[in-house]
Amino acid sequence: MLQSNMISSEDFAKQIRIQVLEMVHKANASHVGGALSMADILAVLYDGVLNIDPLDVKNEQRDRFLLSKGHACTGLYAALALKNFFPLKDLEQYAADGSKYLSHTSHMVPGVEISAGSLGHALPVAVGVALAGKRKNATWKVICLVSDGELNEGSNWEAILFSPQQKLDNLILIVDYNKIQSLGFVKDVIDLEPFKSKFESFNWDVFEIDGHNHTQINDALLKCNQKNNKPKVIIANTVKGKGVDFMENQILWHYRAPNADQLKTAIQNLNN
Amino acid sequence: MRTAFIEQLIEEAKVNDKVFLLVADLGFSVIEPFAELFPDRYLNVGIAEQNMAGIAAGLAMEGYCVYIYSIGNFPTLRCMEQIRYDICYHNLNVKIVAVGGGYAYGSLGPSHHATEEFGMLRTIPNMVICAPGDPREARLLTTFATKHNGPCYLRLGKAGEPLVHKSEITEPLLLGNILKVANGSECAVFSTGAMLKYVTDFVNDNKLDASVYSFPFIKPIDVQFLLPLFKKYKKIITIEEHQASGGFGSAILEYANEMLNDAQIEQIPFIKRIAIKDKFYSTSGSQQYLRNLAGLTLDVADFNV
Ligand SMILES: [Mg+2]
């Protein structure tokens, strides 16, 4: 079982963000904005919601968490390291030559269920895992976290259309709705609105929340435990680059890595 | 072949409770007996092959031996990236079954001509590629695929293919096996998939002194079997219902070249490849009509050594 740290989940989220910034700075890597936007969701998930034992990551009874927005894997690696799935020092190997810590989520990393990098892949797989859970009358749940831009991919909508048919109420989809995708604002590329009613019309239970408010994240995840034959989606309204003022809502920080000065400023920002 | 496949899959599912069959809304009058016998290990996922391949990966992660079934290019080309990344990269226990290999659905047109998938699938690590030559081979390959723990592609013909192997093959097929069908001296035909009947008839009807080998496996081919054939025959004809590029004949050439480089053979025998020459055919026609049009035919002169 995951042990809750002696710190609050908010502090855990801050630590995730600091590790993310350190990693992308050291590796001069992209995608910091999307890792910061989902940090609070990861913090709540790994601070007691997910039933996963860092010492027994393949336990049959565990909850399955599949991160689909693999480009934001720094957030997941940080959460796992901070929860002792592997040594925190390993994060220094992120994107380094010969490292297993690829800059898209790698299933070679302890605690990672699935490699992801090509968008629109993990949700159909999560649906398959949930279907297996149903066929086995299992009590564990499946949680899949996708980006908003990723919902341009048709494969996701095949899975979204399919899931209610099989009554997959053991499946929770979380959308990190940070309103920005690779080349522009979501509303300008392919608008997802009306978003909530889209999912409702697909026969999903929808919970729309502030994806940085830990109480709301927790409450929504609790509501998702309801066994009513419907898959659940949490639309988490988030801010890309959340927590670092000069990164917030900036397309540039989908690509840029902070230099040493920017890293220092960013961490100060988080600590204030 | 599809009947042999489903009958054998039912046999496998009786003794292996991990066997799970997904179909993409195709398989009318084929899959029903499986669905009736094993409703908890069967699902029609609808007309959505990318989702089907992803679901198969998810089921396989949870320990199932998952078959995905559709026709033509739909369970392969349509979801090629899911096959590469979700299934093969994670090395999951998923079997992809396509009915209607080659020009089996001839008059339905190029949308239904499965003539490029060997080349695409061959390049993907962890993938095993099978194409039975007759219903007996289809049964053996279904048993093989169920036992093999990893990704596997099975290209079937459709219904009503005649038996080529005169009696039941008693040995189980092992990965990469080659089956000898006719015995000759200096020339051999290497056939894969449903071309086998045509090849054996041609050799028999023309009383040719040629060996015929069926290759149920295109990837990998067991070099222990293949190497002696390169040493024995002066001339080899490969035949397949697939584009020449990247197909079975290409694989044979590559094996020969590797063996030459590794000094396992002193020279490469003369190899003639019979395959589709980089062309689509938009003419309506039966399977045999399109095979003829595409030049997938033997000539007695080919057998002169
Ligand atoms: Mg986004």
Q: Give yes or no for B53 touching A (CB within 8 A).
A: yes
What is the Cα–Cα distance from A130 to A124, expressed in whole angstroms?
10
Residue A182: per-residue pLDDT: 94
Residue A1 is assigned to a structural domain of this protein: no
Say if residue B108 is in the same domain as residue B240.
no
Which residues of A fall within a CB distance of 8 Å from B51? Answer: 124, 127, 155, 158-159, 162
Residue with tokens 């565990």: A62
What is the Cα–Cα distance from A191 to B257, expressed in whole angstroms?
53
Residue closest to A111 by CA, chosen among A75, A153, A155, A138: A75
Q: Are A195 and A201 in contact (CB under 8 A)?
A: no
Say if residue B184 is in the same domain as residue B278.
yes
Indicate if the pLDDT at residue B276 is higher than 70: yes
Question: How much is the mean pLDDT over chain A?
Answer: 96
- Chain A, nearest residue to B47 by Cα: A158
Residue B98: per-residue pLDDT: 98
- Any long-range contacts for B32-36 (C-beta under 8 Å, 24+ apart)? B33/B6, B33/B7, B34/B6, B34/B9, B34/B10
Residue A95 is assigned to a structural domain of this protein: yes
pLDDT in tens, B53-99: 999 999 999 999 999 999 999 999 999 999 999 999 999 999 999 99
Q: Give yes or no for A144 touching B (CB within 8 A).
A: no
Residue B142 is assigned to a structural domain of this protein: yes
Spacing, Cα B30 to ligand 1 middle (Å): 44
Spacing, Cα A171 to ligand 1 middle (Å): 21
Question: How much is the mean pLDDT over chain B?
Answer: 97
Spacing, Cα B263 to ligand 1 middle (Å): 55
Residue B158: per-residue pLDDT: 86
Q: Which residues surround ligand 1, an ion (CB under 5 A)?
A: A 147-149, 178, 180-181
Residue A218 is assigned to a structural domain of this protein: yes
Query: To probe the interface with B, which of A125, A141, A144 has the most B CB atoms within 10 Å?
Result: A125
- Chain A, nearest residue to B63 by Cα: A132
Residue B7 is assigned to a structural domain of this protein: yes
What is the Cα–Cα distance from B152 to B145, expressed in whole angstroms?
7
**Cβ–Cβ of B51/A158 closer than 8 Å?**
yes
DSSP sequence for B118-129: HHHHHTSTT-EE
**Cβ–Cβ of B61/A131 closer than 8 Å?**
no
What is the Cα–Cα distance from A240 to A119, expressed in whole angstroms?
18
Query: To probe the interface with B, which of A107, A158, A160 has the most B CB atoms within 10 Å?
Result: A158
Q: Which residue in the set B40, B54, B81 is minimally distant from A125, CB to CB?
A: B54
Residue A36 is assigned to a structural domain of this protein: yes
Say if residue B183 is in the same domain as residue B138.
no
Scan residues 179-218 of A and list those with Cβ closer than 8 Å to B: none
Q: Give yes or no for B61 touching A (CB within 8 A).
A: yes
Say if residue B120 is in the same domain as residue B207.
no
**Cβ–Cβ of B50/A161 closer than 8 Å?**
no
Q: Are B118 and B218 in contact (CB under 8 A)?
A: yes
Q: Are A54 and A111 in contact (CB under 8 A)?
A: yes
Residue A154: per-residue pLDDT: 98
Say if residue B150 is in the same domain as residue B78.
yes
What is the Cα–Cα distance from A200 to A100, expressed in whole angstroms?
40
**Cβ–Cβ of B50/A154 closer than 8 Å?**
yes
Spacing, Cα B29 to ligand 1 middle (Å): 45
| Amino acid found at B35 | A
Q: How many other CB atoms are found less than 10 A from the CB of residue B232?
A: 13
Residue A3: per-residue pLDDT: 56
pLDDT in tens, B201-228: 999 999 999 999 999 999 999 999 999 9
Q: Which residue in the set B54, B64, B82 is minimally distant from A127, CB to CB?
A: B54
Rounded to 10 degrees, the C-alpha dihedral B53/B56/B57/B59 comes to: 160
Q: Domain containing B26: what range?
A: 2-156
Residue A90 is assigned to a structural domain of this protein: yes
Say if residue B191 is in the same domain as residue B146.
no
What is the Cα–Cα distance from A38 to B105, expressed in whole angstroms?
49
Q: How far is B218 from chain A (nearest CA, A)?
A: 28
Identify the CATH number of the domain in which residue A154 sits: 3.40.50.970
Residue B168 is assigned to a structural domain of this protein: no
Which 8-state DSSP code applies to residue B36? H
Residue B85 is assigned to a structural domain of this protein: yes
Residue with tokens 């049959």: A60
Residue A4: per-residue pLDDT: 54
Give the pLDDT of chain A (272 residues) as one tens digit per residue.
555 556 899 999 999 999 999 999 999 999 999 999 999 999 999 999 999 999 999 999 999 999 999 999 999 999 999 999 999 999 999 999 999 999 999 999 999 999 999 999 999 999 999 999 999 999 999 999 999 999 999 999 999 999 999 999 999 999 999 999 999 999 999 999 999 999 999 999 999 999 999 999 999 999 999 999 999 999 999 999 999 999 999 999 989 999 999 999 999 999 98
Residue A2 is assigned to a structural domain of this protein: no
Residue A3 is assigned to a structural domain of this protein: no
Three-state secondary-structure class, residue B25: coil
- Chain A, nearest residue to B88 by Cα: A115
Say if residue B151 is in the same domain as residue B224.
no
Q: pLDDT grade, residue B164 (50/70/90)?
A: very high
Domain boundary among B156, B188, B207: B156
Residue A5: per-residue pLDDT: 53
Q: Which residue in the set B48, B50, B58 is minimally distant from A128, CB to CB?
A: B58
* Alpha carbons within 13 A on the beta-carbon side of A85: 23
What does the pLDDT average to over B129-146?
98
Which residues of B fall within a CB distance of 8 Å from A118? Answer: 81, 85
Residue A272: per-residue pLDDT: 86
Q: Are B1 and B164 in contact (CB under 8 A)?
A: no
**Cβ–Cβ of B86/A125 closer than 8 Å?**
yes
Say if residue B8 is in the same domain as residue B92.
yes
Q: Domain containing A89: what range?
A: 9-271
pTM over 0.95: yes
A-B CB pairs within 8 A amount to 87
Say if residue B54 is in the same domain as residue B199.
no
DSSP sequence for chain A: -PPPPSS-HHHHHHHHHHHHHHHHHHHT-S-HHHHHHTHHHHHHIIIIIS---TT-TT-TTSPEEEE--GGGHHHHHHHHHHTTSS-GGGGGGTT-TT-S--SS--TTSTT------STT-HHHHHHHHHHHHHHTT----EEEEEESGGGGSHHHHHHHHHGGGGT-TTEEEEEEE-SEETTEEHHHHS---SHHHHHHHTT-EEEEEETT-HHHHHHHHHHTT--SS--EEEEEE--TTTT-TTTTT-GGGGT----HHHHHHHHHHHH-
Identify the CATH number of the domain in which residue B105 sits: 3.40.50.970
Residue with tokens 């035909």: B189
Identify the CATH number of the domain in which residue B205 sits: 3.40.50.920
**Cβ–Cβ of B61/A162 closer than 8 Å?**
no
Residue B305: per-residue pLDDT: 87
Q: Give yes or no for A162 touching B (CB within 8 A).
A: yes
Which 8-state DSSP code applies to residue B73? T
Q: How many other CB atoms are found less than 10 A from the CB of residue B233?
A: 23
- Chain B, nearest residue to A162 by Cα: B45
What is the Cα–Cα distance from A76 to A174, expressed in whole angstroms?
14
Spacing, Cα A254 to ligand 1 middle (Å): 9
**Cβ–Cβ of B58/A126 closer than 8 Å?**
yes
What does the pLDDT average to over B36-57?
98
Tally of domains within chain A: 1
Residue A176: per-residue pLDDT: 98
> A184: which residues sit within 8 A by CB, 6+ positions away?
A251
Tally of domains within chain B: 2
Residue B257: per-residue pLDDT: 98
Scan residues 35-94 of A and list those with Cβ closer than 8 Å to B: none
Residue with tokens 């559709």: B70
- Chain B, nearest residue to A157 by Cα: B51
Which residues of A fall within a CB distance of 8 Å from B56? Answer: 128
